[in-house]
């Protein structure tokens, strides 16, 4: 099952006002194993790989079957608010976050501006009978 999701950049962070698209892919092992989660929107963040995959503990070694989609999206927003530069997926973003905050913020703000124009078309796998859209963890009618 594939879900598309949208999260908003957390207030009082360089990501504020951003609208970021993600895809969550659930296989038959869910909820015993986490879904794969990937940003479709371009992202400049210490814990997001160039291909959009995340370095987030609850999607790896700290997964629990009690986590739902809302918990996953909330954790991603928390990661945007508090990056972990000591576990980088993007070495450049982590280095700027630690050593040149002004340039890091400039790069993130460029990502935020790009998110307003990002339609995410063509990046997600489309499976019409299994796809639901979610926004902030709640299903959205399509």
Q: What is the pLDDT of residues 45-81, one digit of tens each?
A: 999 999 999 999 999 999 999 999 999 999 999 999 9
**Closest by CA position to 136, among listed 69, 78, 91:** 69
| Helix (H/G/I), strand (E/B), else coil: 92 | helix
pLDDT at 126 (0 to 100):
37
Q: Catalytic pick from 13, 16, 25, 55?
A: 55
Q: What is the pLDDT of residues 5-49, one digit of tens each?
A: 999 999 999 999 999 999 999 999 999 999 999 999 999 999 999
Instruction: Mark whether 55 is an active-site residue.
Output: yes
Asked if CATH classification 3.10.150.10 holds for the domain at 2-121, the reply, yes or no, is no
Domain ranges of the chain: 2-121
> How many C-beta atoms lie closer than 10 Å to residue 37's C-beta?
22
């Amino acid at each position: 099952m594939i879900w598309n999701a949208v999260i908003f950049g957390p207030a009082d962070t360089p990501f504020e006002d951003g609208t970021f698209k993600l895809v969550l892919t659930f296989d038959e092992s869910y909820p015993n194993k986490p879904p794969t989660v990937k940003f479709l929107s371009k992202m400049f963040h210490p814990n997001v790989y160039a291909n959009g995959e995340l370095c987030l503990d609850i999607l790896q070694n700290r997964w629990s079957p009690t986590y739902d989609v809302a918990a996953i999206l909330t954790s991603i927003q928390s990661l945007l608010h508090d990056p972990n530069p000591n576990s980088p997926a993007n070495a450049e973003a982590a280095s700027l976050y630690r050593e040149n905050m002004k340039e890091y913020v400039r790069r993130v703000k460029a990502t935020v501006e790009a998110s307003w124009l990002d339609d995410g078309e063509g990046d997600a796998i489309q499976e019409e009978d299994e796809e639901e859209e979610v926004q902030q963890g709640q299903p959205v009618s399509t």
